[in-house]
Structure 1
Amino acid sequence: MPKFLIHLFALLALVWSGPALADVQIHFHSVNGSVLFGRYPHTFFVLEGTLESTGKAVNENYGFSARKATTAVLRGPVEHMVLAEKPKFIKKTNRHFTMTITDEQYYRIIAEKDKWQNAPGKYYSLDTRNCIHFVGTMAKILGLKVEYPEDMLRRPKKWLNHVTSLNPQLGAKQL
């Protein structure tokens, strides 16, 4: 066998057996919802992929909500929770855009999620700390431009479309 073929096969074997490229993607979702029927409008994010530093598989999602859906939400801060959606439900939501993130960004997002989750007292406020503010905080960690127009604070789909328009580098289309 010619020497160059041996080198070529050795190179291909090395490339083929090398570590898989690792990355984590973050997807930003909205739920249309209905205040009158069933689920409230909502936004959340999904993390999936593989961490480069550890090879750990990532398949998580987080949203921020009031612990109880009562009229008390209209009067001021109420008890909060960070929640996860079921995979079957996620498939029915609107995926607005996706970004590939570094391990460092992943850990920063998880640390921020933990801060919101473990905040003492009544931390959910419909006007100042709702699911939009939670997801917006994560987007800011990733360097995205984020605004909170008053007319969008209870309209997650419209708000994520607005974030999309503020960040043309995403190459995402409005839904």
Structure 2
Amino acid sequence: MGRYLSILLALLTFGWASPALADVQLSFHSFNGSVLFGRYPHAFIVLEGELESSGEVINENYGFTAKTVSTRILNGPVEHDISIEEPKYIRKTNRHFTITITDAQYREVIALMRAWRDAPGKYYDLDKRNCIHFVGEIAKIIGLRVEYPENMLRRPKKWLNHVTSLNPQLGAEVIN
């Protein structure tokens, strides 16, 4: 028995262990917004990490927005775009929760982003298809419960706090 214990200790000492698995972290963010500084409330996602299958490093973020911000947004669908935020902007936002996702889920998120980005016509609608709906569809990909209460459709922080409360398994705190 002592011999086997010595071999086990030697293996552990010399670093015999399985390699660490790569993973991608999916974070859900909101920005409070400020009319004075030209940024409206917004919800978006951040993807960081490494794909297990290829080792590819991932550092991406996506939000759904109107191509041009104007009062036309108040009157129905307008042209849409996918926004990509600068790191300095991301640091000033609220990170509500982060989940490790699989390579397959990462590919689903990217496919959804491309489908929303490449949809023909005018698909940004402040009340029916905005940044909240985009982030909600991504949350559904990873199995989260999502609702869209009417009084939250223009309030990303409040909405992501609501999603947090719908999914206690996240162990996330509501952000004040």
TM over 0.5: yes
Q: CA RMSD in A?
A: 1.7
> Runs of 5+ in structure 1 lacking a partner?
none
1:39-72 Cα distance to aligned partner (Å, 9 max, x none): 0000000001111111111111000000000111
In structure 2, the residue matched to 1:174 is 174
After TM superposition, the runs of 4+ consecutive aligned structure 1 residues lying more than 6 A away are none
Give the number of equivalent residue pairs. Answer: 173
Change (3 A) 1:53 1:34: same
SS at match of 1:162: helix
Matching of residue 81 in structure 1 with residue 91 in structure 2 = no
Change (3 A) 1:112 1:46: same
In structure 1, the residue matched to 2:10 is 9
Change (3 A) 1:12 1:111: farther
1:85-113 Cα distance to aligned partner (Å, 9 max, x none): 10111011000011111111111111111
8 Å CA contact 1:45, 1:61 repeated in 2: yes
Shift of 1:38: 1.8
**Aligned equivalents of 1:79 and 1:65: distance in 2?**
9
> Runs of 5+ in structure 2 lacking a partner?
none
Match runs of 1:53-132 below 5 Å: 53-132=53-132
In structure 2, the residue matched to 1:20 is 20
Matching of residue 140 in structure 1 with residue 140 in structure 2 = yes
Shift of 1:8: 4.0
**Aligned equivalents of 1:141 and 1:172: distance in 2?**
19
Shift of 1:147: 0.5
8 Å CA contact 1:35, 1:41 repeated in 2: no
**Aligned equivalents of 2:15 and 2:30: distance in 1?**
43
**Aligned equivalents of 1:37 and 1:49: distance in 2?**
31
**Aligned equivalents of 2:33 and 2:12: distance in 1?**
53
**Aligned equivalents of 1:171 and 1:10: distance in 2?**
36
SS at match of 1:15: coil
In structure 2, the residue matched to 1:48 is 48
